[in-house]
Structure 1
Amino acid sequence: MEEEKDKGQRLFIFDTTLRDGEQSPGVNLNMEEKLAIAQQLARLGVDVIEAGFPISSEGDFKSVQRIAREVKGPIIAALARTHEKDIKAAYEAVKDAEKPRIHTFIATSDIHMRYKLQKSPEEVVRMAVEGVRLAKSLVDDVEFSAEDASRSAIPFLCEIFTKVIEAGAKVINIPDTVGYSTPWEFGDFVKAIIEGVPNISKAVVSVHCHNDLGMAVANSIAAVRSGARQIEVAMNGIGERAGNASLEELAMAFYTRRNSLGFTTGINTKEIYRTSRMVSSYTGMLISPNKAIVGKNAFAHESGIHQDGVLKERSTYEIMNPEMVGISSNRLVMGKHSGRHAFKLQLEELGYNLEGEELDKAFKEFKALTDRKKEILDEDIISLLDTHILGSGEEIFTLESLQVSSGTNISSTATVSLKINGREAREAACADGPVDAIYKAIEKIVNLPVKLESYSISAVTGGTDAQGEVVVRVSFDGHLFVGRGLSVDIIEASARAYVNALNKIMRVYPHLMQ
């Protein structure tokens, strides 16, 4: 492992988990979940949080507005097209932020200008300049992005970037929108733009790389070596299609290779695992075991030769250790005899500062878990908080009880009791399996045309009494909703996940309960 340098050039980390990341198919975060993720991103140390696209929906506007008002530290950015209506909506959403930014964009490639915008290059330049000028009249910090830049003509990009910087843009962003570039090509591309824009010293050069060819992280590093100083990323690499450049991979690449790369970030690497776990839990996007940095196999060693080497000296096969990214090897095991004070101290050790009703609810859930599981590990507590406390929001439906009868060569029968705004309702159903029977009984109660699109289950920890986490995706009215459920009983976890998804539907369609 390389020795740490005292100094390095500072890179700015622009996180778009809540905007581009939420555009991942099947992801639909509620306001409480977005706020919880934004607060965690602030603890992680990102420089900019792109909180959303306010003009896209009333819900997105309100989420951005709340994040702007409540999250301190990072710049809070809102995305907007160069349209006046978009920019004014973005301003209204972020104006109360400690450090607001409007991020406006327009496409610059021939294919986008001709077929999508149906505008001439001259019209696109005019719209870009007018958009930046309007944004600058509202906030001091304006970022301009040339959508599909990597398939745009360099002379045209140099022209438009020169003019938007003159109009007041402090950041110019060069996106590889469709993940088309290769590292050497993108590095040269960024260098040519920097050399071709005479007033480039007045702006920070940013890049936004997609992963369609699996090179988003490599392209971002190549761009930094060519002069970019802001990189746009998403936690776990989530985003449109194949996703964005992965925050955790870039953060650890610049940390572990700081001697050769010569750059530093403001990322608190010990918050990486917790942030990754939260984003995965809330979005329902499971992390591949072999995912770099945060996958469960990232620090696992199967080969006997590797195991022997690591036991003798970790650096033989590990270029970083789990503690660097927040995976503790010194686990405090808690159980049914652990008191409220010890529980609160453990929460603080894990980075959670709960008070009042939140702490009361968390401790109640913890004690309920200790009745069903002998040893409570850090992962159990993190999952409990992410599922039941943080980002949970208002619940229309509450699972009161369920009873299942199942076996070989017989149909499964489930009886489910839900509370709906305080009123109890009970139904029973039969099906080929216990989970199917539970879902059919719930469907009888809620009477909504909901379709189960996917179902997955994973263990939070090892052992036969491990908590199971179920993630479901359901479709309703053409939209996908993700539900999560957690329990030592996988049947109960399955029911809780389905009910959680239904509650999310109710937040989007509250009139259905009237």
Structure 2
Amino acid sequence: MPMLRNPAAKYRPFPQIDLPDRRWPNRTIDRAPRWLSTDLRDGNQSIIDPMDRAKKTRFFDLLVDVGFKEIEIGFPAAGQTEFEFINWLVHSDRVPEDVVVQVLTQSRTDLIGRSFESLEGAREAIVHLYNAVSPAWRDIVFRMSREQVRQIAVDGARMLVDEAAKRPGTKWHFEYSPETFSTAELDFSLEVCAAVMQVVGPTKDWPIILNLPATVEAATPNIYADQIEYFCRNLPDREAAIISLHTHNDRGTGVAAAELGLMAGADRIEGCLFGNGERTGNCCLVTMALNMYTQGLDPKLDFSDIDSVIETVEYCNELPVHQRHPYGGELVFTAFSGSHQDAIKKGLEAQEERNDEYWRVPYLPIDPVDLGRNYEAVIRVNSQSGKGGFAWVLQQDQGLKLPKALQSDFSKHVQHLADSLGRELDADDIWRCFRQTYYLQVDRRKFRLVDYNESRAADGTRVFAGTVEIDGEEKRVSSKGSGLISSVLATIGDSFGLEFEVADYSEHALRHGVDARAAAYIEWTAPDGRSGWGVGIDQDVATAGVRAILSAANAVAHGPGTPRF
């Protein structure tokens, strides 16, 4: 059936929240929240093949290394495998003293008891109780009244207290979720949560965690923020509760909803690495944490080696992290567009010259180095790329800093190569093309420098004398001029009959230290109106200049219209 021309006949807009004095729009996030990873529970139940013990253990160790202090490790009542893993983990030495494990249970007597059994002997743990409270669930799934649904929550809370009392050796914490909060009546969610708090008796020093999930994201994130602020402002004994958020991404705004909810008064964020979770996934904790990082806030989570994190997540979930996923995707720091490449190249150069402590580079909201990435993959070259792209690649790969006019000269050759190959060009492609275009170490060169020396004549002029191989045969040549470059030019003219002038010359060191090399660039013009560039690279800067002249001589000798590769 096709999409409706009048979707209003089938779907209704989500109602606004009556909160005319809302405060959250004027707030900012100024500190990291408490984080809960639910990768081993919500994430695990959302993948095609649930993780075995080895994968769950590897994932748990990753979460600890990243810095999570609260980790939901499973749903004990889901099956024996789940139960045994939880029980094994709490008795292993893998749970650091500053990390608290959590399990989830529906508000059912048998399931609550099973959950406490799985945590038997734990040093400290959170038991997370939930039941759905929205009208759709009450009317369609349960066929229960408000009072009956509230009673389910109250009975579950009483059992939490009773089961914890049987196990005084564990430091217990309780979490309650009015599941489907975002599509429930706010007054009823408040009523149920207040009833649970009356049973549990939380205090400021021993608060209950109240999780307010967007179980199915059904509205814009500002409405969710209104719901959170309304709840926080109207909850009795607010200081005895930690407000936690568990957003889903059905509308594509799971991270935004969590961020606005934090501004609206929440204290804790639940989610998964790279947004795994049911349907379209949960709030991506990587994205939210690094969003904070780019605003100058320490998120208390460490993604310094993000590729290692991705490797583990992909292995355990058997799901790929998308190439465009914020911060982590393979292509998120990559520019193919010429104008983008030029802006990034200039931004990185300015950042280095400025030596400014504040990051300011176009198109890069975060320094890839902070995440363990390098700059080599920032700019990649294809048929859409401009001269800044290949110039950046040559600078990063070979240390060459091409003059702008040389970049323009070489760009048409790179463009031709990209069009002919019909694919992205890597650094080897570009370097090979550059060497062929400017006759660097290419067999088809007409002229090749074998050796040379220079001296000063009695009249003060410079004398160039050397051996040049021409068409495979060595020839001794010499001439003089006012300087080394002019004496080489005179030699080329006197010995080989090639006439051209140097319109521009520049040089630079390629690297420092004992292996230092130099590059020289010569722009030439010929009597027939042609112009081009010669390039020379050598350990010695003077010899690099000589090689640049011979590079230019090769171009002049090949004549107009001769392809360079």
Normalised to the residue count of structure 1, the TM-score between the two structures is: 0.60
Match of 1:197 in 2: 235
CA distance in 2, matches of 1:76, 1:173: 16
Contact 1:18–1:34 (8 Å) recurs in 2? yes
Change (3 A) 1:297 1:330: closer
Contact 2:247–2:258 (8 Å) recurs in 1? yes
Match of 1:281 in 2: 315
Q: CA deviation at 1:194?
A: 1.0
Q: CA deviation at 1:46?
A: 1.5
CA distance in 1, matches of 2:100, 2:182: 26
Q: CA deviation at 1:272?
A: 4.0
Match of 1:152 in 2: 184
- Tell me, yes or no, if structure 1 residue 326 matches structure 2 residue 364: no
Match of 1:52 in 2: 74
| Unaligned 5+ runs, structure 2 | 1-28, 165-170, 203-207, 349-360, 378-425, 429-565
- Tell me, yes or no, if structure 1 residue 66 matches structure 2 residue 88: yes
CA distance in 1, matches of 2:326, 2:177: 29
1:260-285 CA distance string (max 9 Å, x none):
xxx65321131544223211122111
Contact 2:250–2:279 (8 Å) recurs in 1? yes
CA distance in 2, matches of 1:100, 1:185: 33
CA distance in 1, matches of 2:114, 2:100: 17
What amino acid sits opposite 2:255 in the alignment? V
CA distance in 1, matches of 2:109, 2:374: 49
What amino acid sits opposite 2:40 in the alignment? L
What amino acid sits opposite 1:35 in the alignment? T
Change (3 A) 1:40 1:188: same
CA distance in 2, matches of 1:309, 1:284: 37
Change (3 A) 1:26 1:229: same
- Tell me, yes or no, if structure 1 residue 136 matches structure 2 residue 161: yes
Higher relative contact order structure (alpha carbons within 8 Å, sequence separation ≥ 6): 1
Q: For 1:95-494, what aligned pairs fall within 5 Å after superposition?
A: 95-137=120-162, 138=164, 140-168=172-200, 170-258=208-296, 264-314=298-348, 315-327=361-373
CA distance in 2, matches of 1:12, 1:325: 22
CA distance in 2, matches of 1:265, 1:95: 32
3-state SS, counterpart of residue 128 of structure 1: helix
CA distance in 1, matches of 2:144, 2:372: 49
Contact 1:35–1:66 (8 Å) recurs in 2? no
1:34-56 CA distance string (max 9 Å, x none):
01101110111123111110001
Match of 1:387 in 2: none
Contact 2:47–2:317 (8 Å) recurs in 1? no
1:57-76 CA distance string (max 9 Å, x none):
00011122223333224211
- RMSD of Structure 2 on Structure 1 (CA): 2.4
What amino acid sits opposite 1:326 in the alignment? G
Which structure is larger by alpha-carbon Rg, 1 or 2? 2
Match of 2:105 in 1: 80
Q: CA deviation at 1:257?
A: 2.2
Q: Displaced runs of 4+ in structure 1, greater than 6 A? A: none
CA distance in 1, matches of 2:122, 2:82: 16
3-state SS, counterpart of residue 19 of structure 1: helix
3-state SS, counterpart of residue 288 of structure 1: coil
What amino acid sits opposite 2:257 in the alignment? N
Q: CA deviation at 1:171?
A: 0.4
| Unaligned 5+ runs, structure 1 | 1-6, 332-460, 464-514
Contact 1:209–1:245 (8 Å) recurs in 2? yes
Change (3 A) 1:265 1:135: farther
Match of 1:450 in 2: none
Between Structure 1 and Structure 2, how many residues are aligned?
325
3-state SS, counterpart of residue 129 of structure 2: strand
Change (3 A) 1:66 1:317: same
Change (3 A) 1:303 1:217: same
3-state SS, counterpart of residue 218 of structure 2: coil
Q: CA deviation at 1:25?
A: 4.4
Q: CA deviation at 1:158?
A: 0.8
Change (3 A) 1:323 1:93: farther
Identical pairs, percent: 25
1:109-152 CA distance string (max 9 Å, x none):
01112222233221222221221232234152100011111110
1:232-278 CA distance string (max 9 Å, x none):
110110111111111111111121124xxxx6532113154422321
Change (3 A) 1:123 1:326: farther
CA distance in 1, matches of 2:364, 2:155: 51
Contact 1:44–1:271 (8 Å) recurs in 2? no
CA distance in 2, matches of 1:309, 1:329: 14
Match of 1:94 in 2: 119
